Amino acid sequence: MASNSSSQLAQFIDEVPNFPKPGILFRDISPLLRNHFNATIDALSALYTDEDWKNIDTLAGIESRGFIFAAALAYKHQKGFVKVRKPGKLPNVHASIEYGLEYGKDSLHMQKGDGSRILILDDLIATGGSLQATCKLCEEVGYNIAGLACVIDLTHLNNFNYNGHGVRSIIQYSD
């Protein structure tokens, strides 16, 4: 069930049972992107104040759906954009990290950072494995974490916090 504060955009999320494997309820953001992309970007932007945005230099998108949101917000706020990629997709990798998923293992790779303050974005946080890995990776390559944001937070699966940074999200599901 989505919280009341997010019901306007939550109604455009499709629920796909047993995808990508049995027992998983996949929250498909395709209809949201297709029909309400601007509203979604504006809602993500509003998670941070003007003062917060002044303290963010760069936005990181976690492959692949995180790219959509981080790139759009970087453009909107005139910030830099960096990619957090899966294996074999990024040249000049400076560091990588392996992490567990609800349905397997994966790893993420990044190029060398520049000490800037970074906001990490993804489409969804479930257990927090990829987000925690990305936080550690960002620090390892040389960024300072300024914030964490997702479109969807499956709050019943996590209470994510990384070094004092909680996840800000526009849609929360408690079951």
Torsion (CA) 19, 133, 121, 111 in degrees, nearest 10: -120
15 part of the active site:
no
- What length is written for the chain? 175
Q: What angle (nearest 5°) sits at the alpha carbon of residue 117, between those of residues 113 and 123?
A: 90
Out of 102, 139, 140, 168, the active site residue is: 102
63 part of the active site:
no
Place of tokens 């993804």: 122
Out of 27, 63, 65, 85, the active site residue is: 65
Instruction: Provide DSSP, 135-146.
Output: HHHHHHHT-EEE
What is the set of active-site residues?
Answer: 65, 102
